[in-house]
Structure 1
């Protein structure tokens, strides 16, 4: 594997950035196999997982504001769209699909959350992206603990998912490193 060119920003070659991060966290074939092995269990609970995450967002004013209508009630239509997007991400993650398209999709999600100038709540602070990933990791670890017969396999699956999710979090957070449009000279 050729190293990432350090003279380029990480987002310029997302595939190399992600490969480097996967190597750094020690993500290997065995981790990918464990994720694929546990994928049917995760996908069988995808609705429960996504609903729990968005319910948690609604419990906190700092995150609820992104999902409320002008009258202060939850925007159920928006929440369903977001759950659908999260389900898509979960399915792709369960396939360990770190393809060209998917890694740039992650960067796009990071940019859309970090440079959001429209919609309820505005820009999503980075700490909530980190916190959301932590909630997903915790939910998966609990799911494996409760549903897998072998505790050693459950722990190994949780570790594998954690590695991959943290690599993805790094890709998502790259969006927060880009300057706002007005600072980059692209907006008038």
Structure 2
């Protein structure tokens, strides 16, 4: 072994080793087994290159944010309002009526069914709400909204437009068979 304080000889310098390697090439070259030091030196640059490569970025994963909302119902009663979904947005109609409007609502039961929507729009609903319904592009949808509003107000009162209250209890409401209205047949 050589002394570490002794300078290397010409045979041990990197230039001398490189020259010897080049001289040992060609058709008559002798292959020498690599020393452990040479194997280590050849592995280090490859390991460094691999370490300097950027880490692969994982593909984004879709994280569920909760249940996806479905389509809103066309009509929904929330407290004292009827919420109506239209192509032009949501319309909210107040189901509360002051006494004078309530009295008019009760007289509407005597109207022909075809006249009820216009009566509701002109006489019962507040002006801004009536104008909003009249401005809808889909008149059939506006008609359905007015009729549903009348139905919901009637349900609050216990009756609906176009439905007359019964004057006597039927057999369905008493749970007993009704009295026969004709004389029994004799044979």
TM-score norm. by structure 2 comes to 0.24
Higher relative contact order structure (alpha carbons within 8 Å, sequence separation ≥ 6):
1
Write 1 or 2 for the structure with the bigger share of strand. Answer: 2
Q: What TM-score, normalized to structure 1?
A: 0.24
In terms of Rg, which structure is larger? 2
